[in-house]
A and B are shown apart, each in its own frame.
Chain A
Amino acid sequence: MISHLFTGLTDLGTPSVMLLLFFGMVVGMLVGMLPGLGVVLVLTLILPFVYHMSVLETVAIMLATQAGAYFAASITAILLNTPGAPESFPTTLDGFPMARRGEAGKALAISATSTWMGGWIACIFFVGLIQLAGPLNTVFHPPEYMAIIILAIVLIAQTGNIPLSKVFISGLLGLMLSFVGSDPVTGVERFTMGLPTLYSGIGVVPFALGVFAVTQMVKMYGSRKAVASVDLTQLGKGFHAQVRQGIAETFRSWIHVARSATIATLLGLVPGIGGFTSNFISYGVGQKVSKRGPQFGTGITEGLISAEGSSLSKEVGSLIPAVALGLPSGLGMVIFIAALTILGLQPGPSLLKGSPALPYSMMWVLAIAGLLSCVLGLLLAPQLSRITGIKGPYMFPFIVALSVLGSFADVNTTMGIYLLVIFSIVGVAVRDLGYSVAAAAIGLVLGGTFDDNVHLTNSLYGWNFITKSPLADVFFLIAIYLVFSAGRRWHKNKNEVTRQAVKHPLMEWVFDLVMSVFSITYVVVGMGYPAQAGEIPVVVGFLAAVASVYRLVIDFRVWLQVRHEDSLEPIPGNAGPKDAFEGVSLESDGDEASAVAVMTRMENEEEPRTRKDRRQQNTRELIALLWFLGFVAGSLVAGFKIGIPVVTFIYAMVNKDIQSLTKRALFAVSATIVTGALAYAFVELFHLTFHGLI
């Protein structure tokens, strides 16, 4: 084995392989950093070139692209609260608050260092586990898959001080959206309203771009502010010092890296879902076991490391079933396996026997690309950090253009853009209501897998699965314990929540009403489908309807109370994350750490202080939304190549945030060139077939 390990490394020592490794890593980083460009899109683009490559060249470019992309996805998560890949959502929880405090350099350094360290720890596991992949695979059956998905939702939901009912609704909404499209088992179209463009379902790309990227841009346009709440010009060389500090802190907190890397590697072994759930579960576990757990989510090192320690390690872990059994953990690995098939290789035991050094070459590619991307990330961190000093109105056209283009490219139909519009509007409207975007994202991404595994569990064991799957039972028990402990905490603290905690009582109530009507309609429509295709959606929709009606009743009372009484009487059962930020401490024991956490979050939120300011900000946010719709309309009417640059030009020229006409013109020209180039690149590169209505 040692000789294969060594040979696996030396085999990579040809110029073409190293060049492709480096190229792949750089392309991956670019892709990861640009919201809207998913790694899957780019890997698919590389696939046709594989016909002309050697095995090692293919391995180098495909895996290095993935390593670079998943690391870089954290960069926008930290700097712009926009995860470059949905898996990177947990990075936003502590990374973005750090950036707001002006500590982007430190956050990026922690991210890069812990990603690399985690990846290398996973490589040690890889060497030990590659020959055991077969027996390990027999541990996981459909009940375990169901349990892991539920555990991931429960764990991530614990991180936001969100009432159980809201977490529940968020996760269920994600699941409900995931069932839109053709049922993967029977092929029956569900909830598509007869639209063929919805047959392939609702993608996570328009969802993530809407609720993260566009929502963040609308907010920043509204406030006219940059991400960082401090004056970065005062920092001078401060970012360099932050990078050094970040590296040092990561090394001091190595135990958190080791824990996350271990969890992610082991989850990476679970084909199908491990790759996506790893970051969520390692972050959730980190919060549970860390002494500073209550402060997770406020921008602390341990939180960020817990999320980032798993970024690369999950890729290394998922390589094991992919190579040893031909079973991928995510779409990235699916395409990698397809590339190997094109070259006439069949991942599995025959590959392990026939090319024993090759799996180690793959591991080394991830290790080397991980190290190089970390070094590059650290070198770029001080400069990248300065993005947090750019004000919203200046950043707006670039991110919005990328979002529109990325949403379309995801499905190559205008449905991608319509979904982006819906998710953006919903994202802006409900962002302060305290629903869990993470739970919704997990539901949306893994809903199909959840559905399949419920069917399979039923087919294999029926209800008897409880006695047949001890490992699943353990996961279920942990999930139930976490739900009950969270419920107890909320029950204990419900009386501490004051009217002050209710930020948008009318909005809360309106959302509940919409959600109730939506869920009930969903159930009614679902009942019209054949049993095998409709039963899971109906059950999920029914649970969502119950939870929504429950919230409707509670929030209606709150709204009436707030409207008619000017008292500080307790309002039972209502508190979102913002409530926690603004209200009194909501943590179970009222400990000091929790109070600090709440205070820190309060400081991080820069809400308008007066009613007039709030009104002004709301108006500006509405204008931002209209501009976003302008970008959409421009694209639909004139196509991307013309619509996007033209709307960018108009946006920049009429933007009163830039007072001088000359400066406005200069910005307009440069922004138009950039967005035009982006539109051209997307259309040509991804063969976008839509060219506008005219």
Chain B
Amino acid sequence: MIKLRLHGSMRSSRSKASMVGITVAVSGMILAACGSSSSSTSSNSSTSNSAAPTTSANAAAAAYFKGKTITLIAPDNPGGGFDQYARIIAPALGKYLGATVNVENVNGGGTVVGTNQMAAAKPDGLTLSVVNTGGDIASLIEKQPGQNFDLAKLSWVGQAGSSPSVLITSPNSGVTSFAQLLKVKTPIKVVDVRNGTGDMFNRIVLGAFNIPHTFITGFTSTGTLKQGFLAGDGQYAFENMPTFLSMLNGGQAKALLVTSKPTLPVLVKAAGNAVTLSEALSSATLTAPQTAAIKEAIALSGLDYDFAGPPGIPAARLAVLRAAFQKAVADPATVAQATKEGEPLGFIDGASVATQVTAAITNGATISTYVNG
């Protein structure tokens, strides 16, 4: 491969070119070999199961997905919560559809950039994404720029799970409980990803409980948010629990409040003695609008890690996708991997998600004072 011999003649020139060619070809063949092994893995596994169509249209739709490549957009970087769910579900989803599901990371704008890209794709069922539904609804109510999609019109496939969000503080803030935080008089500095679920909870919780605060915005993802928090740019942050797991376990952050009681042992340990949002609500005296906002925030916290495609996916194809998705979430391999990564699973079917989304948008007025404040 590497024994090039150089001479001045045309023959040598050909030899040179050929040798370069061989070098590149060998490289190409090695890569191709890797590729074929990868492809064969997915195709072998794909034949073992398939969605069970109930009508001829569904049968045609099920056949449509066989052998196809589906792009599943994770609207954050590898290792982020949405990426984790996407990668946990992708293999089983591919298995039940008979397709290859590739995860593509499209990061930015909280998660809006990735969702925009999904929504602009052809509604053929071959482009899906994990959607930050709660955060997007809050952004919608806030009239934040950037969303190029109508949440109510997306083709909802289903929810894979929902993990509680957590309000954390750094050890040097001097605050060790939510009760203590309620007594703080000087504004706290909160690092915040605009357009995210954390941003929504920050605004509703801190606003409704009248905690003086200043937002440090401009972080583009939870990765840069963690960086800012650890660098001391702010002493408080609100995001979903798995995002802060290593910091909570490593003593770099303390949990003050969780949006709901975690069930996975790893999350229970990380939450420590943090109060839930419901507990905080019951022990505080709030006005009716404040209470309504907190209750809506609790409802919104359930809208998490939803999978969707662009508006207009043909009904039969969407039905096949939903059926395969349900099986994928329940697949033993999916469950094992989710437990390993500390991501809770909890299936909700696509039709119910669609209903919840519509309801949440309608109820948006209750939180609008806070998210727009």
* Interface residues, chain A, with chain B CB atoms under 8 Å away: 27, 30, 33-34, 44-45, 47-48, 51, 134, 137-138, 140-142, 181-189, 196, 199-200, 231-233, 271-272, 325-328, 334-335, 337-338, 341-344, 346-353, 380, 383-384, 386-387, 389-391, 394-395, 398, 402, 412, 448, 452-453, 455-456, 458-460, 530, 533, 658-660, 663, 666-667, 670-671, 673-674, 677-678, 680-682, 684-687, 689
Contact = CB atoms under 8 A, between A and B. Distances in A.
The 10 residue pairs across chains A and B that have the minimum distance between CB atoms = A187-B146, A187-B109, A349-B250, A187-B112, A346-B246, A455-B218, A338-B78, A348-B246, A394-B17, A685-B35
B36 to A, nearest CB: 6
B17 A341 contact: no
B288 interface: no
The listed residue with most A CB atoms (<10 A of its CB), out of B28, B29, B39, is: B28
B349 to A, nearest CB: 27
Contact of A196 (B117, B230, B250): B117
Contact of B4 (A33, A342, A386): A386
Given A30-B27, A186-B145, A671 B217 contact: no
A674 B340 contact: no
A141 B219 CA distance: 12
A196 B250 CA distance: 41
Given A389-B16, A684-B35, 11 more contacts: A27-B30, A185-B109, A186-B146, A200-B106, A334-B223, A346-B245, A394-B16, A459-B215, A530-B145, A681-B35, A685-B32
B209 to A, nearest CB: 23
Given A350-B246, A452-B220, A199 B120 contact: yes
B148 A189 contact: yes
Given A673-B21, A677-B29, A681-B35, A186 B250 contact: no
B4 to A, nearest CB: 4
Interface residues on B, range: 35 or more
A384 B221 CA distance: 42
Contact of A398 (B21, B32, B112, B247): B21
Interface in B75-103: 77-79, 83-84, 87, 91, 100, 102
Interface in B26-69: 27-32, 34-36, 38-39, 69
Contacts of A48: 38, 87, 91
Given A346-B249, A348-B247, A199 B117 contact: yes
Contacts of B29: 677, 681
Interface stretch (B6-14, B157-165, B177-185, B357-365): B6-14
Contacts of A137: 227, 230-231
Contact of B31 (A140, A271, A670, A685): A685
Contact of B108 (A184, A326, A347, A394): A184
Nearest to A398: B24
Contact of A390 (B16, B35, B77, B117): B16
B241 to A, nearest CB: 12
Contacts of A33: 27
B46 to A, nearest CB: 14
A663 B108 contact: no
B2 A350 contact: no
A686 to B, nearest CB: 8
Given A30-B30, A658-B13, A660-B10, A327 B226 contact: yes
A327 B77 CA distance: 12
Contacts of B13: 390-391, 394, 658
B355 interface: no
A353 B14 contact: no
A232 B16 CA distance: 12
Contacts of A453: 218
Contacts of A187: 108-110, 112-113, 116, 144-147, 195
Given A137-B230, A188-B145, A677 B25 contact: yes
A34 B112 contact: no
B212 interface: no
Contacts of A677: 24-25, 28-29, 32
Contacts of A326: 226, 246-247
B216 interface: yes
B17 A142 contact: no
B279 interface: no
Given A137-B231, A186-B194, A341-B84, A460 B216 contact: yes
Nearest to B90: A48
A458 B217 CA distance: 9
Nearest to A531: B145
B252 interface: yes
B160 to A, nearest CB: 16
A460 B116 contact: no
B117 A200 contact: yes
A383 B69 CA distance: 41
A351 B116 CA distance: 36
A313 B39 CA distance: 36
Contacts of B217: 185, 455-456, 459
Interface in B217-276: 217-221, 223-224, 226-228, 230-233, 245-247, 249-252
B121 interface: yes
B337 interface: yes
A272 B20 contact: no
A674 B32 CA distance: 12
Contact of B79 (A200, A233, A272, A334): A334
B331 interface: no
Given A327-B227, A670-B18, A182 B4 contact: no
B150 interface: no
A671 B246 contact: no
Interface centre among B11, B22, B246 (most CB of A within 10 A): B246
Contacts of B69: 687, 689
A681 B28 contact: yes
Nearest to A659: B10
A383 B112 contact: no
Task: Determine which residue in B14, B91, B107 has the highest number of CB atoms from chain A within 10 A of its CB, and name it.
Answer: B14
B296 interface: no
A19 to B, nearest CB: 15
A559 B286 CA distance: 75
A342 B341 contact: yes
B250 A348 contact: yes
Given A200-B117, A459-B216, A673-B21, A338 B83 contact: yes
A398 B195 contact: no
Nearest to A683: B35
Contacts of A458: 218
B339 to A, nearest CB: 9
29 contacts: A30-B31, A34-B27, A138-B230, A138-B231, A182-B108, A182-B146, A185-B217, A187-B110, A187-B144, A187-B147, A189-B148, A196-B117, A199-B113, A200-B106, A334-B79, A346-B245, A348-B249, A350-B250, A383-B2, A384-B2, A390-B20, A391-B16, A394-B13, A398-B20, A456-B219, A458-B218, A678-B24, A681-B35, A685-B34
